[in-house]
Structure 1
């Protein structure tokens, strides 16, 4: 969906601090929040639904809320939506129902290390052959939609070249709706001038991982 989360190519939001310290977390709660997001998930929550819920945060709140604070807001919202707990339980800090399973004591630093060693695989088998081939020229869709998508606004209606092919992967636009479909996935290269206009460096390139539904032959 189009919203404040899709800031690529937007002007007026200030510069990016490239000299920010390299530590992953600035406050203790951020590490705990990251660990909670990895272990506290309902069965019907997937990464694309989680991302879409985060995209629904109101603009002022989204821009002013610290990054991992928005993660907390999103995780809580998905848990309430999935009936893992209620708003009353959240406010009181006390569960009104028995736990679904034995509660395990978890060391969040251990969770961080465990997840750092895991490579999630979102590839899926499909029965169709890929529509596009490496070095083929393609054009991206011009229009977005109201749901979750991985095609950023700045790259819509733009011409690029297939750089590489990655087999089929979960299609985010459908996965966010609970539809477990998959599509062929490509890395598409765009010139900076195609994306940003004549003032951009003609030697620069931007690559995006894009699914087949986002593309059409040029």
Structure 2
């Protein structure tokens, strides 16, 4: 998907404003937003890729002016309305009309903490052999698509080298559509001078993890 979220390598947006204290949260509501998103992640019909796709649908004006965890709340609200868990009227009024169902108790704080701390792997078995070998020259495909993708715009059409192979992993483009598909995942080394004109004659490289269908032989 080509959208406002894909800002990697683009100029004109100023410097990145980071924090030096190393703290992930700076307001109490950010902690609650994180907890809500993690609790909702237990829905069997949702995935991290579906969440990212929905976040990428935020209109540009809101995407550029809302803070990071505000994105999360907006995305989660849209997902829950879409799934029928809440209504827009409930959000506007701040009053829930939900009737708790027997046998489905709310998740406890301890259960939510355990879910967050439980390491998750997206590595999966795949029968097909890898199409590319270590050290092989490749090119990232130039075409985008309407759905979710992890192929950043700044590497499309650019040449690189297979630096590492990680085996089969869940393919995010399909996962965002609710489909289960695995593809080989690689780390690609791009010369910085291949990506932008400024680093000409420098030895800097950028390493990007890309799925097999994003690549073609150069």
Task: Note if contact 2:38-2:116 (Cα within 8 Å) is conserved in structure 1.
Answer: no
Q: How does 1:60-209 map to 2 (within 5 A)?
A: 60-100=61-101, 101-106=104-109, 111=112, 114=114, 117-200=117-200, 202-209=202-209
Q: How far, CA to CA, are the matches of 2:194 and 2:85 in structure 1?
A: 46
* Native 8 Å contact 1:187 1:210 kept in 2: yes
CA drift of 1:93 comes to 3.4
Corresponding residue pairs, total: 215
CA distance in structure 2 between the aligned counterparts of 1:200 and 1:29, rounded to whole angstroms: 45
Q: Deviations over 1:71-125 (max 9, x none)?
A: 0000111111111222223333343342241124426xx845x456322111112
The question of whether the paired residues in 2 share the 8 Å contact of 1:130 and 1:184 is answered with yes
Cα RMSD of the aligned pairs, angstroms, is 1.8
TM-score scaled by structure 2? 0.91
Distance 1:201 1:75, change over 3 A: farther
User: Displacement, 1:53?
Assistant: 0.6
**Secondary structure of 1:139's match?**
strand
Is this contact kept in 1: 2:138–2:159, CA < 8 A? yes
Which segment drifts farther, 171-180 or 114-123? Answer: 114-123
Q: In the alignment, is the contact (CA less than 8 A) between 1:192 and 1:201 conserved in 2? A: no
Give 5+ residue unaligned stretches, structure 2. none
TM-score for the superposition, normalised by structure 1 = 0.91
Partner Cα distance (1:26, 1:212) in 2: 38
SS of equivalent residue, structure 1 residue 81: helix
